[in-house]
A = this chain, B = another copy of it.
Amino acid sequence: MPGTSLDFTARLRAAGLRPTRQRVALARLLFEGGHRHVTAESLHVEVKSAQMPVSLATVYNALNQFRDAGLLREVVVAPGRSYFDTNTGHHHHFFVEPDGALHDFPSDKVTIAGLPAPPKGTRLSRVDVIVRVRR
């Protein structure tokens, strides 16, 4: 029976997180469809309107834990608000201002050549490309 909470229970356990009612509900919203970009506030609204009340603090806790567990990645594109991205693979973003909408694009067709070497004493961690667009 696909789409069941059993999947998420196992997935959370594998990530070292107890599959609580709240985390399973959030994981289902986040992971059962296609890739998503949410903010804490938007996910909180969503989980509340799905007859599944979860406190805002728990939404923040879960997003941070999911990110730390590698289930989500955090995207910083605008001041004062973090996006969480269910697509943890290599990819980049369009950011539509002023809406705040994020759209993925695959990084494998994009070639970035000529990047200088990291500053002395540092190792490369990630390259983010943010293509800002306007209506």
Interface size class of A (residues with CB under 8 A): 35 or more
Residue-by-residue, is A72-101 near B (CB-CB < 8 Å gives 1, otherwise 0)? 001011111110000000000010110000
Interface secondary structure of A, over-half rule: strand
- A122: CB under 8 A from chain B? yes
- Indicate if A113 sits at the interface (CB-CB under 8 A): yes
In Å, the complex CA distance between A119 and B97 comes to 12
Q: Interface with B: A11-19, A51-59, A103-111, which one? A: A103-111
- The smallest beta-carbon distance between A110 and chain B, in angstroms, is 5
Residues of A within 8 A of B (CB): 74, 76-82, 94, 96-97, 103, 105, 109-116, 118-119, 121-135
